[in-house]
Structure 1
Amino acid sequence: MNLPPLTQSFVLHFGEMGSHWGINRTVGQIYALLYVSPKPLNADDIVEAIGCSRSNTSMALKELQAWRLVKLQHLPGDRREYFSTPDDVWAIFKTLAEERQKREVEPTLTMLRGAILERPSSEEERHAQARMKEMYQLIELVTKWFADIRDMDVETLQRLMKLGAQVQKVLQFTQSLGRLTGRDGGKEE
């Protein structure tokens, strides 16, 4: 690799983490390189920096485009395609979460919906179906929560995340206040 030590460390780490995230090493390395690059890079720049083949680079860039994690652009007077990542790290986070939901969560919800609608033929299947329904309800709740989070502006989202466990105190306070005033305190039925 022909990169400064700090950049090389970051790129190598993302490559290694790629397998844990369900992407290959080259995709992880290219994304990391584009993320820290001060300017858009073309495929030749990437091949030179990382030392991977041109075909691997091309396939990785297509995968990153399919995930909407890189931007394609053309520079005046240059016919080559240049790539960069969005500048806003929150936009990257939201895009990544949306893509994972579309590719992983939605198919699981679809499968579980179908399984819940089946007519169980034994006690064992009734038990399995009941467990699947619990899983469906949890995933559906998290999906709705994520949709609410995704629609928040970044400043509000940051404040919410910084609250951490203090949110529990706010909810307990609202619940206590609800009991005092005769309301449910925001409890769901």
Structure 2
Amino acid sequence: MPPALREFILHWGDLGGQWGVNRSVAQIQALLYLSDRPLHAEEIATCLGIARSNVSNSLKWLVGWRLIERVPVPGDRRDHFVAETDIWEMVLRIAESRKEREIDPATAVLRRCVRAGGEDPRVGKVARQRLEAMLDFMETTDRWYQQMVCLPKAKVFALLKMGSRVVNFLSAVKKSPGKRRSDAPDSAPTPSGRT
């Protein structure tokens, strides 16, 4: 394997560990992402030096998260796998899975705690306010996420590429609501969306 590809796969595995994903899972996903053809489990195990049983479990996990899929290969009865290679789709699938497994349950607990805390005189004002603030943040983030996933990919990338212009626009609006300040940067878009 070329050193550049090996370095990417190893680093992706390390990143996976930091994100709470098994290192082998992340390495397999990286290998399949870089591969120009479908690979079967034995090839993956040999290439990465990972036990076949670990590869099998990791493949199930990746299929469950819809980051890879099984594909047929003519003349070969073994399962072969390919990775999702559209980066935006990968990010969406990871975000969706993490949201369902982590964010949604946490938000549900916060809603129950806010409701119960509001009815319980033993819960102090500060604790209630902090629970409400956290719930507001979670719900606002969820609404933003729902809006972003509904946008066409081209619009999301256009928004991302605007970068500092969005920040400059928001700063200009905050300084002078309702009209554009003369000292706002020229590159900041106006409320109508024109620059």
Q: How much has 1:138 moved relative to structure 2?
A: 0.7
Match of 2:25 among 27, 35, 48: 27
In the TM superposition, residue 170 of structure 1 has moved relative to its aligned partner by 3.0
Aligned to 1:68: 66
Within 2, Cα distance between the matches of 1:109 and 1:57? 34
| Count of aligned residue pairs for this structure pair | 178
1:51 equivalent to 2:49? Answer yes
Normalised to the residue count of structure 2, the TM-score between the two structures is 0.84
Q: Indicate the residue corresponding to 1:178 in structure 2.
A: 178
For residues 13-162 of structure 1, the aligned pairs below 5 Å read 13-118=11-116, 119-124=119-124, 126-162=125-161
| SS of residue in 2 equivalent to 1:83 | strand
TM-score for the superposition, normalised by structure 1: 0.86
Deviation at 1:7, TM superposition (A): 1.2
Q: Equivalents in 1 of 2:79, 2:154: separation in Å?
A: 34
Verify the 8 A CA contact 1:120 1:129 in the aligned structure 2. Answer: no
Aligned residue type for 2:71:
Q
List runs of 5+ in structure 1 lacking aligned partners. none
Q: Tell me which amino acid in the other structure corresponds to 2:145.
A: F
Distance 1:25 1:172, change over 3 A: closer
Match of 1:8 in 2: 6
Question: 1:65-102 CA distances to partner (integer Å, 9 max, x unpaired)?
Answer: 11111111111221111111112111111111111111
CA distance in structure 1 between the aligned counterparts of 2:30 and 2:92, rounded to whole angstroms: 17
Unmatched 5+ residue regions in structure 2?
181-190
Identical counterparts, % of pairs: 35
Q: What CA deviation, in whole Å up to 9, does each residue of 1:9-61 have, x standing for no partner? A: 11111111221111111111111111111111110110110011111000001
Residue 183 (structure 2) aligns with: none
What letter corresponds to residue 129 of structure 1 in structure 2? R
- Secondary structure in structure 2 of the residue aligned to 1:80: strand
2: CA distance between counterparts of 1:50 and 1:120? 55
How much does 1:178 deviate? Answer: 2.9
In the TM superposition, residue 123 of structure 1 has moved relative to its aligned partner by 4.8
Inter-partner Cα distance in structure 2 for 1:24 and 1:136? 30
Q: 1:114 to 1:123 in 2, by over 3 A?
A: closer
Give the aligned CA root-mean-square deviation in angstroms: 1.9
